[in-house]
DNA sequence: GCCAACGTTGGC
DNA sequence: GCCAACGTTGGC
């Protein structure tokens, strides 16, 4: 089993929203690298760190799992959707997604600042300078380390 | 194939 | 709200 991190802006779709719906098609990803991770890397059952971005306290807030193989993102064909892509055709889809299933909320938010303070997370894709990838791989070691922080009092200022 | 202009992401 | 960093687009 592999591990991943997926970002979402909580004002658009939060961990509480995922808990409410249970399983959600991860639509709207319009970045080739992120698409390729979903299409070529993800398998059902893979672990997902759910990350809140572009908000007051960015950080990891929950655990989810990949709940499907990749399949074409239907919103690319929907003219009324903000994710509509006129270059996409049903027989030649450009964008893929997977379903994501809620597992649990973390006891506390593992803040971005706290992750940055971990020397052992050097090289973690999330922390690369200027990285804006919304779907990215997490090694087993990074996964274990990040989740171990959950039960520590509070990592940083 | 180069690269300037533009739009977007996302931390702060 | 600001702005740095990045990806994409399109003229040439």
pLDDT tens digits along A50-65: 999 999 999 999 999 9
* E-strand stretches of A43-138: 47-52, 59-66, 71-72, 96-97, 99-111, 135-138
pLDDT tens digits along A61-118: 999 999 999 999 999 999 888 899 988 888 889 999 999 999 999 999 999 999 999 9
Residues 8-37 of A with CB under 7 A from strand B: 9, 30
Confidence (pLDDT) at A153: 76
Question: Cα-atom radius of gyration of chain A, to the nearest Å?
Answer: 16
| Helix or strand holding residue A9 (H, E) | none
Distance from CA(A106) to C1'(C9), angstroms, rounded: 41
Distance from CA(A118) to C1'(C11), angstroms, rounded: 46
Residue nearest to nucleotide C4 (CA to C1'): A130
Decide if pLDDT at A48 tops 60.
Answer: yes
Decide if pLDDT at A155 tops 70.
Answer: no
% pLDDT > 70, chain A: 97
For residues A8 and A153, give the distance between their C-alpha atoms in angstroms, rounded to a whole number.
Answer: 25
Alpha helices in A9-128, H assignment, sequence order: 15-21, 32-36, 112-116
Residue nearest to nucleotide B8 (CA to C1'): A132
For residues A45 and A56, give the distance between their C-alpha atoms in angstroms, rounded to a whole number.
Answer: 30
Decide if pLDDT at A157 tops 50.
Answer: no
Query: Is the dihedral angle over the CA atoms A79, A11, A18, A130 positive or is it negative?
Result: positive
- Count Cβ atoms within 10 A of the Cβ of residue A92 and give its class: 0-12 exposed, 13-18 middle, 19 or more buried: exposed
Contact A143, A133 (CB under 8 A): no
Q: Which nucleotide minimizes the distance between its C1' and the CA of A85?
A: C8
Decide if pLDDT at A37 tops 90.
Answer: yes
Distance from CA(A36) to C1'(C6), angstroms, rounded: 18
Q: Please, what is the average pLDDT of chain A?
A: 94
Instruction: Give the torsion through C-alpha atoms of A113, A6, A134, A141, to 10 deg.
Output: 60
Confidence (pLDDT) at A80: 87
Mean pLDDT of A123-133: 91
From the list A114, A113, A116, the residue with the least C-alpha distance to A124 is: A116
């Amino acid at each position: 089993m592999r591990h991943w991190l997926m970002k979402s802006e909580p004002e658009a779709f939060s961990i509480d929203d995922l808990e409410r719906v249970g399983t959600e098609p991860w639509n709207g990803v319009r970045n080739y690298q992120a698409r390729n991770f979903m299409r070529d890397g993800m398998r059902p059952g893979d672990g997902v760190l759910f990350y809140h971005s572009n908000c007051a306290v960015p950080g990891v807030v929950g655990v989810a799992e990949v709940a499907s193989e990749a399949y074409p993102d239907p919103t690319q064909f929907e003219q009324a959707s903000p994710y509509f892509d006129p270059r996409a055709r049903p027989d030649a889809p450009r964008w893929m997604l997977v379903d994501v299933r809620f597992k649990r909320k973390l006891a506390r938010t593992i803040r971005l600042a706290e992750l940055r303070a971990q020397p052992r997370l050097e090289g973690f894709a999330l922390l690369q300078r200027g990285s804006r990838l919304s779907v990215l791989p997490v090694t087993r070691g990074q996964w274990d380390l990040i989740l171990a922080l959950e039960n520590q009092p509070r990592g940083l200022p």
